[in-house]
Structure 1
Amino acid sequence: MKNLLRYFKNLTITTNQLVFFTCCYVALILNLPFLVKTTNVITSLDNYNGLFLLSLPIFLLSITITLQSILAFRWITKPILIITVICSSLIFYGTISYGLVFDYGMVQNTVETDTAEALSYVNLHAILFFILFGIVPSVLIYAVQLSYKPFLNELLTRLKLIAMSLCVVFLIGGLFYSNYASVGRNNKALIGYITPYKMLDASYKFVRNHYFTSPLKFKVLDTSPTIVRDSNRKHVTVMVLGETARAESFSLNGYNKPTNQYTEKQGVVSFTNMHSCGTATAVSVPCMFSRLSKQNYDKRIATSQQNAVDLIHLAGADVLWISNNNGSCKGVCTRVITQQIDTNKLNPLCDGEYCYDEALLAPLRTKLDHLTHENTLIVLHMIGSHGPTYFKRYPIEKRLFTPDCQRSDIQNCSQQQLINTYDNTIAYTDFVLSQVISGLSELAEQEDVETSLLYISDHGESLGENGIYLHGLPYSFAPEEQTRVPMIYWNDPMQTDFNLNCLNTSAKAHITHDNIFDTLLSIMSVRSTAYRIGSDPFIQCKSQSAIARTTVPNRLDTEIVN
């Protein structure tokens, strides 16, 4: 390495040469995921043009040279190229290791990720990879000597390089326009793999939308929601917001491993065909509590109007949000009382960075012992099955499935190890849910309080299927493992609003996060003009008296689900 560095320090080249060689590295090496995926698409065609396939890397290289040449001048040349290489190497690692796509959603996830979560991705494999593909090339770019021509001559040579690159782009585009148009039109997801320009474009849009756009005026959906119940008993609903749980890993949904051995004995109803609003927490959490649907969801709009939690609170319920997910309610809990689980190591359930989800039970118990309102909603936000450090989500005594994967570079574990580790997180979540249900059952028996529980995950997870790991892929081509999520409902026998036998029958119907807004209002018996009876999946199994007392004549949607 020392000899190589010494050689580059003694090497003098022109700016155009440095741009060309760096672009070759970025386009032909760090863009291998894009080239491989596009090649697979092209070669899968019945009659593909071999020359068109050969033109692909040349076309990408020419575009890369054009873009980099625009900013390559004098002293800014090396910094721009080094930044490009560093960013591209990080994206390269994420793409080939986990199958990630760095689009707008991934940029948002990255910005909103806390330090502990970010560090969970750091491991020896990642460090060595980054040194090899990012640091070493950057050091060589820094070390090489550049020879500069007079200003006008330098400008002229740069324009020549740009002109030559554009000529190649137009030539290839002219010869194979129909081929590129067809492949691009039918495989729009491929553009997400172009490194690093898709990420730069997404980053620009994110910064523009979040930091340079005026906030919207807050919209009130209903000024006077109310809670109307027939019973004089107090009511408590615990909503457990799961993290990264996928429906197919629940034995309640037919999975062949006993991941729900606790709750299956407690008479829960599992909704087997629930789908998420997004593939990441940053989208799914605010979306599911919002009146907006997946089709018209916009975070700026969602955070600038009342959500389901706001309406329940305004209706007179005591609302408490308890988070074991690093305080990440994504703006949903802004206007209600929140409590963050302290990760201090003095707590045996915590390691200084994370806590097991059992840590949610103590503050829940405290709240249940000190009810101050007739109606109470408690949201427990789990850390659940958040990866890639799945092994940190369950204590050793809850390690049911072995061998498991005790490392964060999960792509280097066997498929069986990885699945066992993830299944342990689901089984542990089930244990925590059973503890919550037991606490609510005890409260109902001793204090004559109506109780219920609703559990739902924000998004699913990929575990190496088709080479894809984790979550966050664009929804348009995300696999079902990332979009089909579990939902569980339970209520004590004194709760008469819903017929559980009916719910068990209807639990196979297709529903989405779009239904959660109305489901929460329904469970809490909130009478509001924002409630849409046609979006309430529980309406078919609700008593006629419950429907009558919570339905508003001027509601947004008067169509009853059949």
Structure 2
Amino acid sequence: MIKYMSCFKNLKLSTNQLLFFTCCYIALILNLPFLIKSATVITALDHYNLFFLVSLPIFLLALTIIIQGLFSFRWLTKPLLIATVICSALIFYGTISYGIVFDYGMVQNTLETDTAEAWSYINFHAIIFFIFFGLIPSFIIYSVQLTYKPFFKELLSRLKIFSVSLATVLLIGVFFYSNYAAVGRNNKNLITYITPYKMVVSSFKFVRNHYFYPPLEFKVLDTAPSIVRDSQKKHVTVMVLGETARAQSFSLNGYSKRTNPYTEKQGVVSFSNMSSCGTATAVSVPCMFSRLNKAGYDKRVAMAQQNAVDLIHLAGADVLWISNNNGSCKGVCTRVKTQQIDTKKSNPLCDGEYCYDEALLAPLKNKLNRLTHENTMIVLHMIGSHGPTYFKRYPKDKRVFIPDCQRSDIQNCTQEQLINSYDNTIAYTDLVLSKIINELNQVADKNDIETSLLYISDHGESLGENGLYLHGLPYAFAPEEQTHVPMIYWNDPMQNDFDLNCLKTSAKSPITHDNVFDTLLSIMSVRTKAYNIDNDPFIQCKSQGAIARTTITEEKTMEIQD
């Protein structure tokens, strides 16, 4: 291999020739996902123009030459082409292996990913793939000798290839404009597969939005929220923030495999028709705690105003956020007490990079034994079912479904192994939820305290359906596996604000992450003008006295505002 590679050191090319050959590689090889998906869409039409289909790779090549040619000049040629090839090869691997699309949301998710999670994607298959499609072509580009013409001749030569490429684009546009317009309008997702330019544009927008826009003035939704309860007992709510759990894999929701053997015996209510705000943690977590709804969600705006956690804390509750997810709380817990599970600590539940979610039980129990306020909310942020290393999310003695997938390149496991591995994560989550409920039952019996639990996942997961893996696809065309998420509610017999039988009856009604804000305020009995009674799915099952206590009338709202 080295012998053959050394031959390229004697190869001499002009900058235009190197530009052309590299662009051919980028457009025709590294953009195969785009070309294949586009061809599939075109050939599925009742009537399609064969010449239009043939024009697509030519059109993409001409555009690639124009884009790369704008910046690849003289000594900049090699570095920019190598950078483009390496970047494109990484995207190519993600798209080919997992069906990942590198749009704005995925760029945000990638940049906010912790080191341990990033390393979970590194495996033998990925390394070989990257060497073959990224490093070897880059070495060839680096090795060839470039011959430079005098500046003006070089410029004239570049103008020629520009002119030919531009003429090609215009000519194809003239003959096939209606075809491109029709396919583009009806399949807007196709543009997200163009490598690497969609990611470059998305990265630019992310950097601009996060580092160059001035910070927004912080908006206070309510200066004086309060908690109003008739009961003199202390109240504790544990909100469990799930990770990458999809509702389809919960036997509580009708899944054929028994993935919820523990909680099904504890009288929980499963809301089987819940949809997420996003398909990645970076979007869904801040969105679900925000007053903004999915349609109007903007992270900059959400981060610059009070969220549900802030209002509950300001109302007088003791709020503690305990995280076993290295991705942090995405800004939601900035103004409340937080505790991060130490993965490096000597703990049989931890391996140095990750901890099983049972590690959340010790700090939870410690907090329950040391309650300082009349009202307490504890948020437990799980690592849940986060892939691709699903097998690291549950102990070996909790492998309920076998054979499972014991590797990170999950696309090389059988469908049975992959689904078994994922289902093991759901079954393990169910075990942890059951143990949390047991802890709440114990503290309720021992100290006569009202307790409740709310579990919600941030987004779902694709497990090879239609060739897609993991999550993070643009919401507009994300499959249901990535957007249909579980929500579970439980309260102890002493907690009588809600009629559980009523909740079980209404649990099949469609709700979304947009309802979480008001649901949390309702469970915690927070009286605030930020609460929207029409957005509370629990309200119909709440006692009239509880409704009266936590609902602010129009006159009272005006009084607070004044």
| Range 215-224 or range 439-448, more displaced | 439-448
Secondary structure at the aligned position of 1:338 is classed as strand
Whole-angstrom distance in 2 between the partners of 1:420 and 1:237: 32
Q: What residue number does 1:504 align with? A: 504
Say whether residues 1:248 and 2:254 are aligned partners. no
Is the contact made by 1:225 and 1:526 (CA closer than 8 Å) also made in structure 2?
yes
Give the unaligned 5+ runs of structure 1. none
* TM-score relative to the length of structure 2: 0.98
| Shift of residue 557, structure 1, vs aligned partner | 11
Q: What residue number does 1:175 align with? A: 175
| Range 282-291 or range 1-10, more displaced | 1-10
Q: CA offsets per residue over residues 47-74 of structure 1, 9 Å max, x none?
A: 0000000001000000001111111111
Amino acid at match of 2:432: V
Whole-angstrom distance in 1 between the partners of 2:191 and 2:344: 43
| Shift of residue 327, structure 1, vs aligned partner | 5.2
Secondary structure at the aligned position of 2:295 is classed as coil
Is the contact made by 1:532 and 1:556 (CA closer than 8 Å) also made in structure 2?
no
Whole-angstrom distance in 2 between the partners of 1:114 and 1:368: 30
Q: CA offsets per residue over residues 347-369 of structure 1, 9 Å max, x none?
A: 00000000000000000000000
Q: What residue number does 1:195 align with? A: 195
Structure 1 vs Structure 2 CA RMSD? 1.1
Q: What residue number does 1:39 align with? A: 39
Q: How does 1:181-220 map to 2 (within 5 A)?
A: 181-220=181-220
Whole-angstrom distance in 1 between the partners of 2:440 and 2:385: 24
Is the contact made by 2:113 and 2:327 (CA closer than 8 Å) also made in structure 1?
no
| Shift of residue 4, structure 1, vs aligned partner | 2.4
Whole-angstrom distance in 2 between the partners of 1:328 and 1:126: 27
Secondary structure at the aligned position of 2:259 is classed as coil
Secondary structure at the aligned position of 1:295 is classed as helix
Q: What residue number does 1:396 align with? A: 396
In structure 2, the CA distance between the partners of 1:56 and 1:446, relative to structure 1 (3 Å rule), is same
Give the unaligned 5+ runs of structure 2. none
Q: What residue number does 1:235 align with? A: 235
* TM-score relative to the length of structure 1: 0.98
Q: What residue number does 2:435 align with? A: 435
Q: After TM superposition, where is structure 1 displaced by more than 6 Å over at least 4 residues in a row?
A: 555-558
Say whether residues 1:354 and 2:354 are aligned partners. yes
Q: CA offsets per residue over residues 269-292 of structure 1, 9 Å max, x none?
A: 000000000000000000000000
Amino acid at match of 2:376: T
Say whether residues 1:313 and 2:307 are aligned partners. no
Is the contact made by 1:357 and 1:432 (CA closer than 8 Å) also made in structure 2?
yes
Whole-angstrom distance in 1 between the partners of 2:54 and 2:327: 50
Whole-angstrom distance in 2 between the partners of 1:517 and 1:72: 50
Amino acid at match of 1:110: T
Amino acid at match of 1:523: I
Q: What residue number does 1:8 align with? A: 8
Q: What residue number does 2:57 align with? A: 57
Is the contact made by 1:461 and 1:471 (CA closer than 8 Å) also made in structure 2?
yes
Q: How does 1:297-308 map to 2 (within 5 A)?
A: 297-308=297-308
Secondary structure at the aligned position of 2:373 is classed as coil
Whole-angstrom distance in 1 between the partners of 2:292 and 2:556: 12
Is the contact made by 1:528 and 1:555 (CA closer than 8 Å) also made in structure 2?
no
Secondary structure at the aligned position of 2:79 is classed as helix
Whole-angstrom distance in 2 between the partners of 1:77 and 1:457: 46
| Shift of residue 427, structure 1, vs aligned partner | 0.1
Q: How many positions carry a matched residue from both structures?
A: 558
Q: CA offsets per residue over residues 195-250 of structure 1, 9 Å max, x none?
A: 00000000000000001110000000000000000100000000000000000000
Amino acid at match of 1:407: R
Q: CA offsets per residue over residues 67-117 of structure 1, 9 Å max, x none?
A: 111111110000000000000000000000000000000000110001000
Q: What residue number does 2:291 align with? A: 291
Q: How does 1:49-448 map to 2 (within 5 A)?
A: 49-326=49-326, 328-344=328-344, 346-448=346-448
| Shift of residue 346, structure 1, vs aligned partner | 1.1
Whole-angstrom distance in 2 between the partners of 1:9 and 1:327: 45
Whole-angstrom distance in 2 between the partners of 1:556 and 1:238: 30
Q: How does 1:540-551 map to 2 (within 5 A)?
A: 540-551=540-551
Whole-angstrom distance in 2 between the partners of 1:65 and 1:236: 62
| Range 338-347 or range 499-508, more displaced | 338-347
Q: What residue number does 2:528 align with? A: 528
Is the contact made by 2:529 and 2:557 (CA closer than 8 Å) also made in structure 1?
no
| Shift of residue 3, structure 1, vs aligned partner | 2.9
| Shift of residue 555, structure 1, vs aligned partner | 9.1
Whole-angstrom distance in 2 between the partners of 1:328 and 1:260: 27
Is the contact made by 2:317 and 2:376 (CA closer than 8 Å) also made in structure 1?
yes
Amino acid at match of 2:272: T
Q: CA offsets per residue over residues 455-499 of structure 1, 9 Å max, x none?
A: 000000000000000000000000000000000000001111000
| Shift of residue 378, structure 1, vs aligned partner | 0.1
In structure 2, the CA distance between the partners of 1:503 and 1:548, relative to structure 1 (3 Å rule), is same
In structure 2, the CA distance between the partners of 1:393 and 1:35, relative to structure 1 (3 Å rule), is same
| Range 276-285 or range 339-348, more displaced | 339-348
Amino acid at match of 1:74: R
| Shift of residue 440, structure 1, vs aligned partner | 0.4
Is the contact made by 2:99 and 2:468 (CA closer than 8 Å) also made in structure 1?
yes
Kindly, what percent of the aligned residue pairs are identical? 76
